[in-house]
Chains A and B, each alone.
Chain A
Amino acid sequence: MQWAVFTVLALAAVVSAVGLVVRANPLHGALYLVTNLFCVAVLYLLLGAEFLALAQVIIYAGAIMVLFIFAIMLLIPGRAETGPDPLARARRWALPVAAVLGVAVVLVAGGTGRPPAAAPPGGVEAIGRLLFTTYLFPFEVTSVLLLAALVGALALAKRRVGP
């Protein structure tokens, strides 16, 4: 049963990732990315990380993708990737380089054959305990990072008035 679910989800994740890269319309790409994020959320559930699955749906598929679609709607209307490609000569190398990288990464990943240990606690309690003991300092730094991003986004998006 787990194998069947994993196979279907893995296929859906790869197909949606390819769809994001292939489709010319970025709005279609965004929908493919949402599909991919949902597939990964269910894979988190299979791995026993319930909290992350929920956070994935709420943060990524909810907040971040809404931001993306907002930006696409604001910027795109029909002016995407038109005209001749000024870097066509360099871009020919993209697929071979990526193929070499892909083979290398999959080989390295396949070398990590290791029998799964006992399931770690995936609930909110275990993650919260780790977050506020071992990882307390990174957690605090994260709040500073979010504040910096907030201020930076405001400063960048502000419309300049006057000279």
Chain B
Amino acid sequence: MVPPAYYVALSAIVFTVGVVGVLVRRNPLVIFMSIELMLNAANLAFVAFGRAHGVADGQVIVFFVMTVAAAEVAVGLAIIVAIFRTRYRIDVDDLSLMRW
């Protein structure tokens, strides 16, 4: 039996890779996929902690996170498509219209 701490460490590494993706990339779709990666890593940590405590509550939380992720992807992709339908370049740094 692999101890749950190993799963949590793996989820921490994958989460950090997702953070790097959000910070480094300029394509909004890749940034969005990196956010999905981070959500997924958090899910893995939830399940691992639930396993460590011997309860199923962590799995229920993951169920909720999956629902939120699905809603987020639907709305987020609609926003991205609506913004970039009219633009030539697809680059989040061009969207400085609402910056102070």
Contact = CB atoms under 8 A, between A and B. Distances in A.
Interface of A: 2-3, 6, 10, 13-14, 17-18, 20-21, 26, 29-30, 33, 36-37, 40, 43-44, 46-49, 51-52, 55-56, 59-60, 63-64, 67-68, 71-72, 74-76, 79-83, 85-87, 91, 94-95, 97-98, 101-102, 105-106, 108-110, 112-122, 126-127, 130-131, 134-135, 138-139, 142, 145-146, 148-150, 152-153, 156-157
Q: Looking at B5, B6, B33, which has the most chain A CB atoms within 10 Å of its CB?
A: B33
B7 A67 contact: no
Contacts of A91: 23-24
A80 B90 contact: yes
Nearest to B96: A86
B34 A21 contact: yes
Interface residues of B, number: 75
Nearest to A87: B93
A23 B56 CA distance: 37
Interface of B: 1-21, 23-27, 29-30, 32-34, 36-37, 40, 43-45, 47-57, 59-60, 62-64, 66-75, 77-82, 84, 88-91, 93
Contacts of A59: 66, 70
Contact of B36 (A18, A33, A115): A33
A18 B74 CA distance: 25
Given A76-B29, A112-B52, A119-B54, 6 more contacts: A43-B10, A83-B91, A105-B16, A127-B63, A135-B64, A156-B79
